Structure formats: C-alpha cells, structure tokens
C-alpha cells in the first residue's frame, strides 16, 4: 500500500442469495436443489474502489440500501467481501450499528472493558482511559445499570465515548450520531475537529448533508451498490440531490453561472421555478433570516405538464455556505 493511503479497497464485491421461499433456502443449503437455481443474486456492492489518505475526513453518502454500511463493515472486518481486496493501515475504532459490540445484559462499566479488550487493550490501558470515557459519556448513575435499560441516546453517548477515547488512528462513524441530542452532537463534532487537527483519519457516513459539507475534505457517492464517483462535498452532494430527485441520468443536469454563486439545475422540465423570495414575520422581503423568527418562502412556479404530486423544496444556508434548513412540501 502507498504510504499516503491508510485505507485502500479495490474491486470490492458483496453479493447475497435471495430466495422466494424458505423451502428453496433449505434445499440449496443441503445441496438438494438439483440443476435448478432457486435463488437470484443481489449485489450490495459491485466493483467498488475506495481510497482514504492519512489525515483525511472522508464522507460516504447515498440513499438507503446504496451499500454504505456494507462497505464500512467490510473495511472494519465485520463482513468478508465476495471478491476484491482491502488494505487497512492503522488502528480502527468504529461506531457502526447501535448495539454492535455491546452485551446488553452487562452494565456500562463492564461494556467499556469488553469493548476495550476487543480492540486489543489491556485492563491497565483501559483503566488509564476510563475517566475520560465516563466524562465524555456523561450518563451519570446509569453507567452501573444494564445497557438494555438505556435509551438510544444514552447508549450512543457511551458507545461514542468508548470509540473516541481509545486513541484510534482511524475513526469510523455510521449514522449513530443521529440519535443523540443536539448538545451531545455538538460535543462529538468538536471532537472531530480535534481529531482533524491531530492529523487523524475520519470516515463519516451520514444523511446530514450540512455536516458532510462542513467536516469532510472529500466525499464518495454510492448508489445501488455502485460507486458513482468521489470529489468535493459540494460536487457529490449536488449529484446526490439529482438521485433523490430521480434525475441522475446523464445529460439532465446543468450548472448555470449566476454571478458569485453557482446554481444547480436538474429535473425533467415539466415545471420550472421562475421566481422566489422570502418575507420576514412582518411580511417584508428579506435576504437574511434571524434565528428564532418566523419567515415565509414564496415561489412562482410555471407548470408545463400535469403533475400529480409536485414537491416544492428550498434550503437556507449560513454565511459559510452550510445548508441548515432543508425542506420540501407537496
């Protein structure tokens, strides 16, 4: 592996057999299906290439079922690929599915030691880190209760506290932060910033496009098990929005220069927004919104063909260009 890369995956393939009936599954398992194939293959990943350089914060985005979690499980060794090669250089700490690596009958303290041991730490090394873990998790006396009594928010606080306090060289987070409260999320993102300053590598999967845009140096876009590309957060997020709009086909997207900003235009041409503006709580037009106040978005749309269920969407960005209020309405 090149010295620049800490993760390198080539031609990764992961396929599963799908059966129409349980009977077919049993027959195939015992080799009794004869010449007739009683299944079809489903490719969770199909020929995926993936590289991460040391010190990068890399995002992976895509719709549900695109293969994001499958890729992460292969990179962390939880799953074995059907084909392809994976090379990882450095200690990985991964926060994948909620509950992965925890015994729900153990209390919080016991699970800290269980996870630490699974990551290769001795009891003495975990002892040296446990105060930092408890302080970050901040779940009080619940640390002595069985994890099966935890709320999802409490559970992710403990799991993330363990993941980031064992001094990983590569941190992998898969959507788990979405169940935490806003204050804990802010604490986690501050930790991301610290990790970036320390030159550590972060792999981040999220549907929160504003966080992807803010923290990631580069983004990969997956769709239906295939890698559509990698590039800047803005470039890949724009392509992702095209997929969400059902217009990922080549030739139906155009970047139009509009002075200081670029406007991404996509769609099937059956309707077009010809004008839009925002009014504040007093009904006056404005180009800025003050936190905590009400506002109204006005759109003038030209309908060119019959549309059974049109969706009108807008987003508001802060001064750094981070999308903070995406919305859509039929």
Domains of the chain (ranges plus CATH)? 54-231 (3.40.50.300), 268-329 (no CATH)
| Most trustworthy range by pLDDT among 25-34, 77-86, 170-179 | 77-86
Q: Tell me how far apart the alpha carbons of residues 153 and 177 are, in angstroms, rounded to a whole number.
A: 9
Higher pLDDT, 82 or 78: 82
How confident is the prediction for the chain on average, in pLDDT? 82
pLDDT of residue 187: 82
pLDDT of residue 91: 82
Q: Is the pLDDT at 168 greater than 70, yes or no?
A: yes
Does residue 74 contact residue 45 with C-beta atoms inside 8 Å? yes
For the stretch 178-188, pLDDT in tens is: 666 777 777 88
Does residue 81 contact residue 50 with C-beta atoms inside 8 Å? no
| Most trustworthy range by pLDDT among 13-22, 186-195, 221-230 | 221-230
pLDDT of residue 2: 54
For the stretch 114-125, pLDDT in tens is: 988 887 788 998
Q: Is the pLDDT at 252 greater than 70, yes or no?
A: no
pLDDT of residue 251: 41
Q: Tell me how far apart the alpha carbons of residues 14 and 80 are, in angstroms, rounded to a whole number.
A: 8
Q: Tell me how far apart the alpha carbons of residues 37 and 46 are, in angstroms, rounded to a whole number.
A: 21
Does residue 107 contact residue 147 with C-beta atoms inside 8 Å? yes
Rounded to two decimals, the pTM is: 0.72
Q: Tell me how far apart the alpha carbons of residues 221 and 277 are, in angstroms, rounded to a whole number.
A: 32
Task: Give, as one character, the DSSP assignment of residue 104.
Answer: T
For the stretch 295-307, pLDDT in tens is: 898 999 999 888 8
For the stretch 102-145, pLDDT in tens is: 889 999 999 999 988 887 788 998 999 999 999 988 899 999 99
pLDDT of residue 3: 60
Q: Is the pLDDT at 243 greater than 70, yes or no?
A: yes
Range of weakest confidence among 91-100, 121-130, 222-231, 266-275: 91-100
pLDDT of residue 44: 93
Range of weakest confidence among 75-84, 85-94, 315-324: 315-324
Sheet holding 92-95, edge to edge: 92-95, 170-174, 201-205, 57-61, 218-223, 226-231
Structure-block tokens of residue 164: 């980031």
Structure-block tokens of residue 101: 């690596």
């Amino acid at each position: 592996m090149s010295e620049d890369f800490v993760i390198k995956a080539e031609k990764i393939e992961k396929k599963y057999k799908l059966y129409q009936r349980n009977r077919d599954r049993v027959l195939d398992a015992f080799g009794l299906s004869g010449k007739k194939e009683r299944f079809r293959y489903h490719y969770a990943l199909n020929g995926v290439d993936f590289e991460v350089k040391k010190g990068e914060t890399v995002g992976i985005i895509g719709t549900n079922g695109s293969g994001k979690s499958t890729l992460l499980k292969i990179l962390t060794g939880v799953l074995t690929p059907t084909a392809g090669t994976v090379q990882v250089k450095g200690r990985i700490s991964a926060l994948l599915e909620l509950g992965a690596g925890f015994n729900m009958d153990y209390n919080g303290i016991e699970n800290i030691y269980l996870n630490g041991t699974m990551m290769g730490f001795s009891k003495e090394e975990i002892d040296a880190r446990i105060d930092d873990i408890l302080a970050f998790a901040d779940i009080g006396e619940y640390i002595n209760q069985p994890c099966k009594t935890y709320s999802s928010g409490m559970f992710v606080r403990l799991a993330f506290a363990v993941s980031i306090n064992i001094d990983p060289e590569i941190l992998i987070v898969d959507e788990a932060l979405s169940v935490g409260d806003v204050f804990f999320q802010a604490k986690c993102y501050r930790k991301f910033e610290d990790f970036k300053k320390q030159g550590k590598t972060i792999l981040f999967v999220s549907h929160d496009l504003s966080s992807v845009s803010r923290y990631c140096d580069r983004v990969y876009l997956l769709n239906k098990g295939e890698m559509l590309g990698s590039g800047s957060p803005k470039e890949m997020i724009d392509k992702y929005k095209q997929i969400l709009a059902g217009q990922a086909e080549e030739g139906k997207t155009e970047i139009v220069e509009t002075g200081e900003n670029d406007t991404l235009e996509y769609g099937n041409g059956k309707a077009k927004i010809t004008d839009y503006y925002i009014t504040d709580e007093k009904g006056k037009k404005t180009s800025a919104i003050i936190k905590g106040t009400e506002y109204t978005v006005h759109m003038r749309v030209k309908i060119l063909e019959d549309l059974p269920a049109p969706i009108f969407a807008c987003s508001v960005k802060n001064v750094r260009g981070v999308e903070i209020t995406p919305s859509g309405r039929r």
